[in-house]
Amino acid sequence: MDLDIDNVTSEESIDDLDAEPASDHEGDAPVETEASREVSVDEDRVVEGLGQLVLALVNLIHELLEKQAIRRMESGQLTDDEVERLGRTLMEQAQEIERLCDEFDLDEEDLNLDLGPLGEMV
């Protein structure tokens, strides 16, 4: 459904969208107009899409944290204890991301969002 906002006159308003559908003749069934159509939203698909988006962002942050941890380890900024804790934490994060992917029935490939001209996210 295309909505041409440029051709809306000042006489038309949001209230017109709530008006009863017009009919061709008195007593006839209402004629469906663009304003009278309802948007159909599949709530399950919305939840799945949102879950995919959130997990993709969490996965991106996780990968950035891994890269930062590797840089800090290679530069010698971390003690052996810090390296151990950081490794354990990153591993637990990866496991939780995997668990959530299973719950939302997503593959690792699903977390790689296409950003159009910017390329893929991960």
What confidence score (pLDDT) does residue 91 get? 97
The pLDDT score that the predictor gives to residue 98 is 95
Helix %, strand %, coil % for the chain, to 5? 60, 0, 40
The domain locations on the chain are 43-118
- Residue 7, pLDDT score: 46
**How many whole angstroms separate alpha carbon 9 and alpha carbon 5?**
9
Question: Per-residue b/e over 89-118, b at no fewer than 16 CB within 10 Å?
Answer: ebeebeeebeeebeebebeeebbeeeeeee
Per-residue pLDDT, 13: 47
pLDDT at 45: 83
pLDDT value at residue 89: 97
Q: Is the pTM of this model over 0.75?
A: no
pLDDT at site 120:
75
Write down the pLDDT at residue 112: 86
pLDDT mean for each 10 residues of the chain (122 residues): 45 48 56 65 82 92 94 94 96 96 90 78 64
Write down the pLDDT at residue 10: 45
